[in-house]
Amino acid sequence: MTSANTEIKVKSVMGRSDKIRKCTTEPSVKNMQNVSNLNIEEQKLIELAKAHAKECFRPGITSMAAVLRTADGKFFTGINIKYKKVWKCICAERVAIAKALEAGETIFDTIVTVKYEDEDDSFTVVNMCGECRQIAIFHKPLKVIVGEGNNLRSLSIREIIPYAYE
């Protein structure tokens, strides 16, 4: 695969201006899962999530980032927030979905979540929790990039949670 840089406009909220992020279509190889089953657009989404996870990383508070692409090509990001002292957290996927809904978007294409490990500067695509899957089912035909061991795949939300409450 040839390497190419892409600029992606990421929607922000709270009156902040849109951010332009550059990502490469060539995945970094350090501790990264196999992306050969994914198309270039899905690989770009992972690279954007990796950049966002690393940029927003705060030890003990946040280590994961999600990126949601809408059907018309807009991108929304979210980070997880966890507080160990009170065992509460907000998932990155729900934050990204909430930002998209706040901006008036309702038709989503693909979402991915990446965990950043600062000890060795590595990334891992992680799967949605059950609660996030249940929320995401209301936005089908959403595709979700999931990890199966070392391999990544893109599945419909219906494949991930076939018997969801709707």
Please determine, for residue 18, whether its predicted confidence score (pLDDT) is greater than 60. Answer: no
Model pLDDT for residues 85-140, shown as the tens digit of each residue:
767 889 999 999 999 999 999 999 999 999 999 999 999 999 999 999 999 999 98
d(CA 69, CA 148): 22
- Give the global pTM: 0.82
> N- to C-terminal Cα distance for the chain?
41
Question: What residues contact residue 125 under an 8 Å CB cut-off, 6+ apart?
Answer: 33, 46, 49, 112, 113, 114, 115, 145, 146, 147, 152
CATH numbers and ranges of domains, the chain: 5-159 (3.40.140.10)
d(CA 135, CA 124): 22
Give the pLDDT of residue 166. 79
Please determine, for residue 47, whether its predicted confidence score (pLDDT) is greater than 80. Answer: yes
